[in-house]
A and B are shown apart, each in its own frame.
Chain A
């Protein structure tokens, strides 16, 4: 497959490709939901798809780790064994931006770390991922370059780049190769196509740059110095503790586990459901002690999970730079602004030493 790594799909064949793809298994793609609002939803034709879109309201995690998923089914009868289950739905996702692919890579790491989470891992293996490159910035909230997510970095079966009259497509996996084969709309990429791709990438290298003034590799160090920064106090006053930022985050995966009985009270399920470290009871224990009682401590925890703890545990940032937390925040808390403040504050500290 090595020399077949790049193929092209002419734009006039895109709709046929999508129709064909949607007949193979359930197909999900970004669709427009009114002005500047997009969502990943089931599609059956190319015209449903928004090829130019800013990050959807919810990221792809909703397919990999559904908002609510059943873990156990049980009967209330004495002696009955509870059965562990996984909810599965084979699907293809078309049009995932590099920030969202990065988000899935984060979740993959979390759930394949021991003890492995086979609910996630089994489901993940039924999902085919087709990426789509961002040729330009989506909007001013993104910070994907800072966290190394502005260029494709794997995590897909096929990766599409829009080059005007055609898409150039990177075939990464056997599954991707089979899609190319079975649909039959692709042609071999030649040198001129590769040159077009290189030109786009050159252009991107000029347009995309670190969105806050710091080298990425210095971020962990910045956070090492920032645990008692003023910014957290400031966030304390602004944060409404609604949990929107974690719900829309592609790499937030905290959950609650609950039980529920059906109306007959004979059968029940145990399910997990997205939860948020931003909510007050999240870290409260019996006796009422709460280890992250202040909103400042909870916001700080969110940022450290993205930029510091994940670096220790998984050697990568868990921020994918998608900008969703900023776009969704009702209190106008901005990730880029917070980082800027942290940088400023740490520079102030350096100055003070010299004065």
Chain B
């Protein structure tokens, strides 16, 4: 068996350098990363990349910065296993390899001009931050913007400074809640669905973008439908086990859809009847 170099390989890696890291919580770490020669990643909000540590493995991670930022991009990684724990050991100046971006992100062209209700549960804020920062970079192209954020406890809150900033802005509406308060917490307590009835929206011109743990979806969707948002205006991003990102390995398949290529962002209308979706 002969081994030859394969220029067109779908598994070819691009070298990238970590510019900056920040410990965000006990389990999540923030990375700012630049490709060689600062060439742009050229992603769409909601897309993901495969992050490689040769010798250890490869994992799908959402890009969590706006594509308007061209010189570098951001990731927010939760340490859960082999690759993500090893990523947490890296610091500014270290190199990683990536491939991508992959998948279909949020349909920006369709969202422009409409109102947006953005709902993030926990780590779901990562892919949504690419959308939110993109909207803020192009604020006048979008209608009203509501952001609802929920997490288990105040100490698990990600991007705290930015949430604070969003809270202060006059060109968007922001609300957050925690499942369990701690003594310093003065805000809302309760699951994220409790925030939905209170938002003032015109359902016909509102698109909802929802990302969170699987269990959140059923409850949130019910509330959104109750608000009168049409099914094709609800966007969800799915997490599945992924190995290739190329629609081949079969890991991410939900019935006849491949989350890595057909998603990870889906219109609710398209996937609502797929029994393996939720």
Q: Using CB atoms and an 8 Å cutoff, list the residues of chain A in contact with chain B.
A: 70-74, 76, 78-79, 81-89, 110-111, 113, 115-119, 122, 227, 253-259, 261, 268, 270, 272, 275, 277, 282-287, 289, 291-292, 297, 301, 304, 308-309, 312-313
CA distance A74 to B15 in the complex (A): 12
Cross-chain contact B256 with A309 (CB below 8 angstroms): yes
Least Cβ–Cβ distance between A286 and chain B, in angstroms: 4
User: Binding site of A, secondary structure by majority: helix, strand, loop or mixed?
Assistant: mixed
**Contact pick for B243, options A110, A257, A301, A308, CB 8 Å:** A257
When distances are taken between beta carbons in the complex, the residues of chain B under 8 Å from A119 are: 6, 9-11
Asked whether any CB of chain A lies closer than 8 Å to the CB of B246, the reply is: yes
Interface residue stretch chosen among B40-48, B49-57, B130-138, B223-231:
B49-57
| B82 and chain A: residue at smallest CB distance | A259
Are B54 and A309 closer than 8 Å at their CB atoms? no
Is the beta-carbon distance between A118 and B97 smaller than 8 angstroms?
A: no
B257 to chain A, nearest CB (A): 9
Residues of A within 8 A of B2 (CB): 87-89
Q: Which of B107-115, B159-167, B247-255 contacts A (4 or more CB under 8 A)?
A: B247-255
Which of A72, A79, A285 is within 8 Å of B11, CB to CB? A72
Sample of 19 more A-B contacts, CB < 8 Å, known A79-B15, A81-B13, A272-B244: A82-B97, A84-B9, A110-B248, A118-B10, A122-B6, A254-B251, A257-B249, A259-B56, A259-B58, A268-B54, A268-B55, A272-B249, A275-B251, A277-B250, A283-B241, A283-B251, A285-B241, A286-B78, A287-B213
Q: Is B5 an interface residue (CB 8 A)?
A: yes
B169 within 8 Å of A by Cβ?
no
- Please, how many angstroms separate the alpha-carbon atoms of A291 and B278 in the complex? 8
* Chain B residues with CB below 8 A from A258, complex form: 57
Contact residues in A for B20 (Cβ distance below 8 Å): none
Residue of A nearest to B8 (CB): A118
Q: Known contacts A72-B54, A115-B247, A289-B214: does B275 contact A227 (CB below 8 Å)?
A: yes
Q: Does B80 contact A (CB under 8 A)?
A: yes
CA distance A51 to B71 in the complex (A): 63
Query: Of A79, A253, A259, A292, which is in contact with the most chain B CB atoms at under 10 Å from its CB?
Result: A259
Q: Which residues of A contact B78 (CB under 8 A)?
A: 286
Contact (Cβ within 8 A) A87 B1? yes
**Is B89's CB within 8 Å of the partner chain A?**
no
Would you give the shortest CB distance from B268 to chain A, in whole angstroms? 17
Whether, in the assembled complex, B4 has its beta carbon less than 8 Å from a beta carbon of chain A, the answer is yes
Instruction: Tell yes or no: B239 within 8 A of A by CB.
Output: yes
Which residues of the partner chain B approach A270 to less than 8 Å between Cβ atoms? 11, 54, 58
The reply to whether A70 and B3 form a contact with Cβ atoms under 8 Å apart is yes
Q: Which residues of A contact B95 (CB under 8 A)?
A: 78-79
CB distance from A287 to the nearest CB of B (A): 7
In the bound complex, CA of A331 to CA of B162 (Å): 57
B1 adjacent to A254 (CB under 8 Å): no
Chain B interface, number of residues (Cβ within 8 angstroms): 46
Shortest Cβ distance from residue A231 to the other chain B in the assembled complex, whole angstroms = 16
Is the beta-carbon distance between A117 and B248 smaller than 8 angstroms? yes
Is the beta-carbon distance between A84 and B7 smaller than 8 angstroms? yes
Q: Within the complex, what minimum Cβ distance (angstroms) separates A147 from chain B?
A: 18
**Interface contact A255-B6, CB-CB below 8 Å:** no
- Bound state CA distance, A78 and B122, in angstroms? 34
Contact of B4 among A85, A110, A113, A255 (CB under 8 A): A85
B256 to chain A, nearest CB (A): 4
Tell me the complex Cα distance, A309–B257, Å. Answer: 9
B276, CB-defined interface residue at 8 Å: yes
Using an 8 Å CB-CB cutoff, how does the interface string of B64-79 with A read, 1 for contact, 0 for none? 0000000000000010
Cα of A61 to Cα of B54 in the assembled complex, Å:
28
Q: Does B54 contact A88, Cβ atoms closer than 8 Å?
A: no
- Taking CB atoms, residues of chain B closer than 8 Å to A87 are 1-3
B7 touches A283 (CB 8 A): no
A72 to B202, CA, bound (A): 51
Q: Which residues of chain A are near B183, meaning CB under 8 Å?
A: none
Cβ–Cβ contact B9 & A257, under 8 A: no
Q: Let me know if B240 is at the binding interface, CB within 8 A.
A: yes
Return the CB mask of B114-137 against A: 1 if under 8 Å, else 0. 000000000000000000000000
Which single residue of chain B is at the shortest CB-CB distance from A81?
B15
Known: A72-B54, A286-B81, A291-B254. A113 touches B6 (CB 8 A): no
Nearest-Cβ distance from residue A61 to partner chain B, whole angstroms? 13
The reply to whether A115 and B10 contact each other, CB–CB distance below 8 Å, is yes
- Could you give 5 example pairs across A and B, Cβ below 8 Å? A81-B13, A85-B3, A86-B6, A122-B6, A297-B276
List the 8 shortest-distance A-B pairs measured between CB atoms, nearest first.
A84-B9, A254-B250, A309-B256, A84-B12, A86-B6, A118-B8, A74-B54, A71-B11
Inter-chain contacts of B276 with A (CB < 8 A): 291-292, 297, 301
A313/B256 in contact, CB under 8 A: yes
Q: Which of B11-64 contact A (CB under 8 A)?
A: 11-13, 15, 52, 54-58
Question: Hey, which chain B residues are within 8 Å of A71, CB to CB?
Answer: 9, 11
Contact of A84 among B11, B247, B249 (CB under 8 A): B11
Nearest neighbor of A121 in chain B, beta-carbon distance:
B8
Partner of A118, one of B9, B239, B256: B9
Neighbouring B residues of A82 by C-beta, 8 Å: 12-13, 52, 54, 97
Q: Chain B: which residue is nearest A261 at the CB level?
A: B55
Most buried by A among B1, B7, B15: B1
Contact B250 A88 (CB under 8 A): no
CB distance from B25 to the nearest CB of A (A): 16
* Identity of the chain A residue whose Cβ is nearest the Cβ of B58 in the assembled complex: A257
In the complex with contacts A289-B214, A304-B255, A117-B3 CB distance below 8 A = no
CA of A78 to CA of B97, assembled, Å:
11
**Chain B residues with CB under 8 A of A313:** 256
